[in-house]
């Protein structure tokens, strides 16, 4: 919660248009995008600029880790020229290797395993709209993917009720589920009964059914997930003041029913947090606190990435 409270503080400063707050002035961030993304790029790039820094975009053709160059060599080279590395990649091992061989902090912008900055942003959004995350019932409907893994890892440190409703065979990673349960502070449920799952929910959350790299599975997945589409009928089973959230992008035809909800259900509007992603992310790393107090980056500790143990 300390991270989220700091993120809210930084957001307040930015909204006040106070341009004197420049914790990343004179700093650069290398952004590795093995997976393209409009929202991730703009949230990080704009956010880093607003906090005084300069972000450098490296697309899929600029860096081909593991093909044209070893990941450890990429980490070492970028560390010499930049103060932070952000990477949005396919293989989770790439983030682990970047963090291992980098001498500067590494930010996990997304992997096939998890998407921590997105969930940090979503958590802050929930706090802003319903008052607190602790004790809330968050129900994820859909594929047990990297978003679900991030919710589970958050549930291991913040107490709330998390439910993942997915078709059989699409459950999240068992080790991650067990880690969240062993933490013993949140109620964790994995179920195939979507209607029972959403009953009394404070937040109903969803994502695409076929992630990037799974497009060849899309026709099959659309058949399997038909009973897991969030619509007005499903939202009526949720709590009276429930919100619907989607991390985006989304197939518009699957969201049209929600966009057309009548006024009494207007609280079910879509909520996202691109700017909040940046705010929650940059309050997490040692360089943020170091630069804010004027300590040189070279005195920070080990490279940091938002990763499970």
Active site amino acids: 247
C-alpha–C-alpha distance, residues 257 and 238, integer Å: 16
For residue 190 the two structure tokens come to 């994995």
d(CA 150, CA 301): 24
Residue 162 to residue 170: CA distance in whole angstroms = 17
Structure-token match 């700093």, residue found: 27
Token look-up 């067990």 returns 178
Q: Are 65 and 74 in contact (CB under 8 A)?
A: yes
Q: Residue 94 pairs with which residues in a beta bridge?
A: none
Identify the CA nearest to 69 among candidates 90, 97, 46, 48.
Answer: 97
Q: What are phi and psi of 141, to 5 degrees?
A: -115, 120
Q: Write phi, then psi, for 234 (nearest 5 degrees).
A: -70, -40
**Coil/strand/helix, residue 56:** strand
Edge-to-edge strand list for the sheet holding 203-206: 187-191, 161-165, 137-141, 203-206, 243-246, 270-271
The angle subtended at Cα 83 by Cα 273 and Cα 26, nearest 5°, is 90
Residue 187 tokens read as 């109620």
SS3 301: coil
Report the sign of the C-alpha dihedral through residues 200, 204, 209, 213, in that order. negative
């Amino acid at each position: 919660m300390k991270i989220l409270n700091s993120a809210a503080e930084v957001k307040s400063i930015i909204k006040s248009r106070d341009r004197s707050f420049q914790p990343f002035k004179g700093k650069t961030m290398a952004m590795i995008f093995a997976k393209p993304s409009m929202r991730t790029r703009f949230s990080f790039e704009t956010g880093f600029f607003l906090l005084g820094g300069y972000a450098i975009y490296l697309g899929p053709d600029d860096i081909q880790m593991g093909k044209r160059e070893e990941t450890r060599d990429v980490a070492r080279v970028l560390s010499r020229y930049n103060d932070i590395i952000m990477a949005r990649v396919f293989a989770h091992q790439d983030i682990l290797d970047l963090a291992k061989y980098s001498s500067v902090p590494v930010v996990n912008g997304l992997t096939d395993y998890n998407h921590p900055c997105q969930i940090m942003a979503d958590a802050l959004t929930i706090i802003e709209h319903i008052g607190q995350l602790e004790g809330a019932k968050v129900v994820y409907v859909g594929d047990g993917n990297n978003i679900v893994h991030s919710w589970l890892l958050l549930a291991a440190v913040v107490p709330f009720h998390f439910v993942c409703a997915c078709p059989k065979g699409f459950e999240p990673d068992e080790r991650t589920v067990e880690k969240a349960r062993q933490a013993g502070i949140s109620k964790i449920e994995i179920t195939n009964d979507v209607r029972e799952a959403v009953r009394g929910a404070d937040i109903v959350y969803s994502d695409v059914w076929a992630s990037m790299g799974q497009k060849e599975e899309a026709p099959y997945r659309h058949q399997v997930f038909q009973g897991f589409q969030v619509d007005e009928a499903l939202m009526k089973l949720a709590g009276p003041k429930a919100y619907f959230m989607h991390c985006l992008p989304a197939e518009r035809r699957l969201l049209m029913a929600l966009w057309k909800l009548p006024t009494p259900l207007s609280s079910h509007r879509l909520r996202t947090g691109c700017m909040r992603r940046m705010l929650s992310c940059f309050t997490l790393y040692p360089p943020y606190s170091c630069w804010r107090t004027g300590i040189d980056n070279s005195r920070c500790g080990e490279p940091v990435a938002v990763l499970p143990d």
